[in-house]
Every structure is written in structure tokens, then in C-alpha cells.
Amino acid sequence: MSCTNEPSSARQKVHEVPPSLFSRAKNFVQDSLIRLLRSGPVPKHVAFIMDGNRRYAKKVGVKAGVGHVMGSSKLEETLEWCLNLGVRVVTVYAFSIENFKRPQQEVDVLMDLACKKFEEFSENSEIVEKYSIRVRVLGDLSLLPPHVREAAMRAETSTRHNHRAVLNICCPYTARHEMAHSIGLAVQGVREGHIQQSDIDEPLLNNLMGTGEDSDLDVLVRTSGEKRLSDFLLWQVSGSCQVHFLDVLWPEFTFWNMLPILLSYQANYPQLHLDRTRLSMKSWDERGAPVSVTSDLDQRAMVRQDRVNSYIELLRKHM
């Protein structure tokens, strides 16, 4: 089922007005700053709570749906900044499970918008092709309308072999559901004989999260001035992650809002790197007791690790 009944002519591109001298100068400065920032440490994994679309629509006097469309366009712009910087994974909160409680008309608009975006990605849109982006949709896809779920699955399938960057679209998602699902997979593994009950520990659950294949979360940004996480990446953010709450609505978010965040990350990188190095110097034996990775692991520990790795690989083959 198609996500829209618009005639093909409505999708044709219109001639763009040549950029002004000011716009060209601004892009030149932005590109120069990106090259400069790339010479220092760059976060590998950045997440966004894209909040403020409805308030922006009200602010400029348009319908809420128009605000969501503008927010969708901002996602692609922001994604391009991140990939030009060298960020490898971008995770965005597109739709909360709780959002199904909103007025049905608004939910329909959001579902249609998500479906169109999934279709663009499945057709290898310009940005997907340019940066070889793998698209993954995280959350409880069974809650999506069938045509939206099918579009999401096509986007995942068609970009599965892209390898330069990852875009995680959380839709529909809550961290509580993600953590419960991770525990459920662990219990399922024990029930089916793939792993043992003693294998269930923090590293295993981390690998079973939706972002288990990705590097640790480095930076989380929320726009709109709200200072809460709204059930987003609660497991991932509990590590060494910087959280920034910005008093700007998502459609108004610019590279210049992102710049101080990147500078803060680079300024704090030595401590962040030290914290993560200390954590990586530890492993876990079968009892959950910390042991140095430089010590000789006994045969049981190696067998356990092989068992856990095999189960994780089995799950990912079927995802």
C-alpha cells in the first residue's frame, strides 16, 4: 500500500532559487568549521529527541502537520551535518508508543509522514546513497499500521548492506519496552537452550538492546527547552554520555546550536575516554565478579563467551 495518493507531478522538484551571497558565505564557514572539528575527537554515536514541532507550527501559525513535515526536513539536514563530521551512528526519537494517545488526526499525519520517509529511504534517497546509510527501525513495529510497518521493513532490507553509517529511527518506541524486550530475549535464549541462566548479565542485556550493534552513546540532544528524557534510551544514557537540553524548537535547530555541543564533547573527551577505558579493562566471570581481561580466562569462561556470542549472532541473523 502506498503512503500517499498524491499525483506524481506533485512530487516533482521545483527549480530552486540560487543561494544568496550570504547563504554561500555561511555554508563556507560551516564547512570550514566541520573540517576543523574533524581534526579532534568526534562522537561516534549521537541521539536526538526531536521535540517542538507542534509548538513551532503554533508559533508560525500553521497546522501541526506542517510543523511535523518541517521537523522531518530538519532531520535530513542534521543527519548530513553529523555524517560530514564523521559521526557513525545517529539515533532519533521519531514516535513514542505513548504518542498513540494523541488525537487520531495527528497520529494519522505522523504515520503518513513516517511511511513516506521510510519509502524514500527504501528507494535509496540521495542522502542514503551518498553516505551509504543503513536504516534500522527500533521499537514495537507490531503497533504500526500494516502499510507503515511494510515500508519500515523495506527501508531496513534495502539498506541492510550499507556500511558507512547507521540511522536508527525509534518508531514506535519507549525505553521501557526496549529493556523489557531485551530481558525477554535473554529468557527466551535460556528456555530454548541457547544460553544458560548464569549467562544473563549487564553486557548480555546491552547486546540485546536495539542499539546493541552500535558504539556506546556519546551525546544525547533534546530540543524545545524540556529537561526530561521522555523514556528515550534510558539504558544507553546511563553510561558515560553527555546530555544537552536546548531551548530551541526542533525545526529551528541549526548547526550553530550543535557547535557548542561538539566543542563541549571535545573539551570533556579526555575524562570520557578515561572512564570508558577503565570500564573496558574489566570483564565478567560466570558469577558476575569483575576480572581483568589481561588475566588468563579459564575454559569455562571462554565456553560461556562463545555460547553468548553464538546466541547474539543467531538473533541478529533473524532481525
Contact 152, 141 (CB under 8 A): yes
Q: pLDDT class for 283, splitting at 50, 70, 90?
A: very low
Q: pLDDT class for 152, splitting at 50, 70, 90?
A: very high
Beta strands in 54-207 (DSSP E): 89-93, 133-138, 165-170
The pLDDT tens digits for 81-131 are: 999 999 999 999 999 999 999 999 999 999 999 999 999 999 978 999 999
Asked if residue 33 belongs to a domain, the reply is no
Share of the chain above pLDDT 70, in %: 88
Asked if residue 194 belongs to a domain, the reply is no
Share of the chain above pLDDT 90, in %: 74
Q: pLDDT class for 297, splitting at 50, 70, 90?
A: low
Q: What are the residues facing 165 on neighbouring strands? A: 133
> Global pTM?
0.87
Asked if residue 34 belongs to a domain, the reply is no
Comparing 296 with 11, the larger pLDDT belongs to 296
What are all long-range contacts of 306-311, with beta carbons under 8 Å and residues at least 24 apart? 307/194, 307/195, 307/196, 307/199, 308/195, 308/199, 308/204, 308/207, 310/194, 311/189, 311/194, 311/195
The predicted structure's pLDDT at residue 289: 47
The predicted structure's pLDDT at residue 12: 44
**189 pLDDT more than 50:** yes
Comparing 281 with 278, the larger pLDDT belongs to 278
Phi, psi (degrees; rounded to nearest 5) at 279: -65, -40
Q: Among candidates 162, 169, 78, 160, which has minimal Cα distance to 116?
A: 169
Asked if residue 222 belongs to a domain, the reply is yes
The predicted structure's pLDDT at residue 301: 83
Give the separation between CA 36 and CA 19, rounded to whole angstroms: 24
Give me the mean pLDDT over the 152-176 stretch: 97
For residue 73, what is the domain's CATH number? 3.40.1180.10
Asked if residue 157 belongs to a domain, the reply is yes
Asked if residue 294 belongs to a domain, the reply is no
Give me the mean pLDDT over the 10-18 stretch: 46
Give the separation between CA 175 and CA 96, rounded to whole angstroms: 9
- Spell out the residues 6+ positions from residue 83 whose beta carbon is closer than 8 angstroms to its own: 90, 131, 133, 164, 165
Q: Picking from 25-39, 197-211, 253-267, which range would have the lowest pLDDT averaged per residue? A: 25-39
- Spell out the residues 6+ positions from residue 274 whose beta carbon is closer than 8 angstroms to its own: none
* Structural domain containing residue 101: 41-175+213-277
Asked if residue 306 belongs to a domain, the reply is no
What's the domain count of the chain? 1
Give me the mean pLDDT over the 168-191 stretch: 97
Mean pLDDT of the chain: 88
The predicted structure's pLDDT at residue 282: 53
- Spell out the residues 6+ positions from residue 91 whose beta carbon is closer than 8 angstroms to its own: 45, 46, 47, 48, 138, 167, 168, 170, 211, 214, 217, 233
